[in-house]
A = this chain, B = another copy of it.
Amino acid sequence: MTERGGRIQTRQRSAVWAALEAAGEFQSAQQLHARLRADGDGVGLATVYRTLQQLADDGDVDVLRTADGEAVYRRCSTGRHHHHLVCRSCGRTVELDAAAVEQWARRIGEEQGFSDVDHVVELFGTCRECKETDRHI
């Protein structure tokens, strides 16, 4: 467990932290809130936002913005990460081995004189099933 300042330990924070761990990948506050509610761990949306904000301030999570402006959070990973291909419609997720991209990112960063280069790569599309049924969310 990481040291997280003088913060109080509450059921809600543990739940958010656990949900982030369970997800493993970038999740929006809304997604986490829904996930928690589905699991029976009721946590207010505002509390989810506040908790994520603190975690981000403390550097315990990565924060990103999706193309449509939603903030997504991920527990900082110690080891190497992988990427995902996510269906816009049903949320189905495929894990990707992206060795080629890892190499590309590192090389580009070095070429530009940047250090501690991290990268974010996410693919979004419509999976075959959703395309056929023309389903929308």
Is A67's CB under 8 angstroms from B118's CB?
yes
Kindly identify which residue among B87, B104, B122 contacts A120, using a CB–CB cutoff of 8 Å: B122
Is A125's CB under 8 angstroms from B114's CB?
yes
A105 contacts chain B at the CB level, 8 A cutoff: yes
Which residues of chain A have a CB within 8 Å of any CB of chain B?
A: 63-67, 69, 71, 85, 87-88, 94, 96, 98, 100-101, 104-105, 108-109, 112-128, 131
Q: How far is the CA of A115 from the CA of B117 in the complex (A)?
A: 30
Q: How far is the CA of A119 from the CA of B3 in the complex (A)?
A: 31
Is B108's CB under 8 angstroms from A123's CB?
yes
Is A123's CB under 8 angstroms from B131's CB?
no
Contacts beyond the supplied A85-B108, A119-B123, A120-B123: 19 A-B pairs with Cβ under 8 Å: A65-B65, A65-B69, A66-B120, A67-B120, A85-B109, A85-B112, A85-B114, A88-B116, A101-B104, A105-B123, A109-B125, A112-B125, A113-B128, A114-B126, A116-B126, A117-B124, A117-B125, A120-B124, A121-B121
CB closest residue in chain B, given A88: B116
Interface centre among A64, A115, A120, A122 (most CB of B within 10 A): A120
